[in-house]
Structure 1
Amino acid sequence: MTRKTLISAAVLVALMSAPASAAIPQGEAVNTASPLNAQSWQLVQREISAREAKAIALARVPGGEVVDIRRTSDAYRVRIIARDGRVVDIIVDAATGRIR
């Protein structure tokens, strides 16, 4: 392995262990001229966890209780029972954390 390859691998490992929000701030472009090009960035970009999806959904239905959470290929479906007894399904995008 060359020195450049080892440095690139170390950068990838460091980025993979950091939270996604700390790696590149929301809305900023990826510098494709750097050793970590756009294709490599997509490999290290993480998705949100079920715990994070649950927190996002509960922020939409304050005081609700999560009764089920399921993952599809690209989203979480969080089923919540609201305080007034309504059953609410919140769909949270697994890549961005946005509610659909």
Structure 2
Amino acid sequence: MSSPRAAARAVPIGYLAAIYRFFRDPNASIVGKLFVFLTVAYVVWPIDAIPDVAPILGWLDDLGIATLALAYLGRVAARYRHALPQAPGAPAP
């Protein structure tokens, strides 16, 4: 069983900063940002495509969507991880 501290160490600070830069970047994809926010809403929202009262199938749709969103965030974080923070309105490299 893992502790909250172990979970906090699992994601390096550089990736969290990269994800923050992605959400703050005005040139970043609006569709990508919406996908992440809507995924969080879908997982939290009680109304699903497959209701959670179905023991296994109800959780698998949430898990599948969350996995896609995390994979997307991983790709985005890799792009933004080494990018230097820019002033608002500055052109992207």
State the TM bucket, normalised to the shorter chain.
under 0.3
Higher strand share: 1
Give the TM-score normalised by the residue count of structure 2. 0.25
> Whose helix proportion is higher, 1 or 2?
2
Q: Determine which structure has more spread, i.e. the larger CA radius of gyration.
A: 1
- The TM-score, its normalising length taken from structure 1, stands at 0.24
